[in-house]
A and B are shown apart, each in its own frame.
Chain A
Amino acid sequence: AQSVTQLDSQVPVFEEAPVELRCNYSSSVSVYLFWYVQYPNQGLQLLLKYLSGSTLVKGINGFEAEFNKSQTSFHLRKPSVHISDTAEYFCAVIKNTGFQKLVFGTGTRLLVSP
């Protein structure tokens, strides 16, 4: 079975500062990795995904993430955050074969203040 750990439940940061949201996963099989963002009273929007190839993945809204197989991590980064980035961020994994389901972490609330 797969599992995802997001150690930080909340990350406060000032506007224009860099941010890193941490994600570690556990799986006995190969997986695909995702970051989703959820704004209040909204569904989930895909930020970026890692399927294969380059370990540095760029997504929407200036976000990027790096896949590290040896550390089983997929941390999300942004060099300069905006107030509008305030939201809940979810890391998720899915097996890369067969019928599968997304397994989500518990989420990290990013709070950007002026």
Chain B
Amino acid sequence: KAGVTQTPRYLIKTRGQQVTLSCSPISGHRSVSWYQQTPGQGLQFLFEYFSETQRNKGNFPGRFSGRQFSNSRSEMNVSTLELGDSALYLCASSPTSGATEAFFGQGTRLTVV
């Protein structure tokens, strides 16, 4: 069974640009969550999608948005990039929302210059 796939693995963007990250969950999983990992703030929850609906949202500005498609694949978008958005963005999939085990992808390393 294939794991959680995140693309791209690495990304370099310029301040002010926007970026879209993609996450394909494990086959059959319907819940996708996104986390931001930085040295200063650690791992922080961004949002969770289940059956194409956002079910939970962390404390991030509106520049951070996401969506989920009918095949459960999810995208995360960050607009008007700031230097502080440089981070490892991790996606996790679960069979259902509220499941007791989340499977993480390898992450997308975003660098904003």
Residues of chain B at the chain A interface (Cβ within 8 Å): 4, 6, 33, 35, 42-45, 48, 50, 55-56, 58, 90, 92, 97-98, 100-107, 109
In the assembled complex, the CB of B60 is this many whole angstroms from the nearest CB of chain A, namely 12
A98 within 8 A of B: yes
Residues of chain A at the chain B interface (Cβ within 8 Å): 32, 36, 41-46, 49, 51, 90, 92, 94, 97-107
A-B contact count (CB 8 A): 55
Partner of A43, one of B55, B56, B104: B104
Interfacial chain B residues near A104, Cβ < 8 Å? 42-44
Known: A98-B98, A99-B97, A101-B33. A45 touches B43 (CB 8 A): no
Q: Are A100 and B98 in contact (CB under 8 A)?
A: yes
Shortest Cβ distance from A97 into B: residue: B98
SS of A interface (majority): loop
In the assembled complex, the CB of A57 is this many whole angstroms from the nearest CB of chain B, namely 13
Q: Are B42 and A107 in contact (CB under 8 A)?
A: yes
Partner of A44, one of B50, B90, B100, B109: B90
Q: Are B45 and A103 in contact (CB under 8 A)?
A: yes
Q: Are A101 and B45 in contact (CB under 8 A)?
A: yes
Shortest Cβ distance from B46 into A: residue: A101
Partner of B56, one of A46, A51, A101: A101
Interfacial chain A residues near B107, Cβ < 8 Å? 42-43
Shortest Cβ distance from B55 into A: residue: A99
Q: Are B98 and A106 in contact (CB under 8 A)?
A: no
Of the A-B pairs whose beta carbons lie under 8 Å apart in the complex, a sample of 12, sorted by A's number, is: A41-B106, A41-B109, A42-B107, A43-B6, A43-B90, A43-B106, A44-B90, A92-B43, A102-B102, A104-B44, A105-B42, A107-B42
In the assembled complex, the CB of B101 is this many whole angstroms from the nearest CB of chain A, namely 6
In the assembled complex, the CB of B59 is this many whole angstroms from the nearest CB of chain A, namely 11
Interfacial chain A residues near B109, Cβ < 8 Å? 41
